[in-house]
Amino acid sequence: MAIKVTHDGTSPHDRCAERCFNCRAPTRYWYARKDVAVCLECAAVVRPSDVPSKSEWCAKEAALTARVV
């Protein structure tokens, strides 16, 4: 089941894009119900219950970023 996402209103030159919660691709689309970034490709296949909470998503991104740096 697909979820509805909305564009954040920025252009590609405005600022860095966030990473999709599912595939980590840069995206400017968001699932508004949970305020989490979701690319269009993943939005087409994930269910609302697949999307983590904002705090879960932020914690995951922080952990992944800490390993890379």
Least reliable range by pLDDT among 13-17, 39-43, 49-53: 13-17
Examine residue 30 and state whether it is found in any structural domain, yes or no: yes
Structural domain boundaries, residue 21: 6-68
The pLDDT score that the predictor gives to residue 55 is 97
| Number of domains the chain is built from | 1
- Global pTM reads 0.87
The answer, yes or no, to whether residue 69 has pLDDT greater than 60, is no
Work out the angle at residue 51's Cα, subtended by the Cα atoms of residues 6 and 2, and round it to the nearest 5 degrees.
Answer: 60
Give percent of the chain above pLDDT 90: 75
Q: How many CA atoms lie within 13 A of 3 on its CB side?
A: 25
pLDDT tops 90 at residue 13: no
| pLDDT reported for residue 28 | 95
Amino acid at 54: K
Per the CB < 8 A criterion, the answer to whether 35 and 53 are in contact is no
Residue 48 belongs to a domain: yes
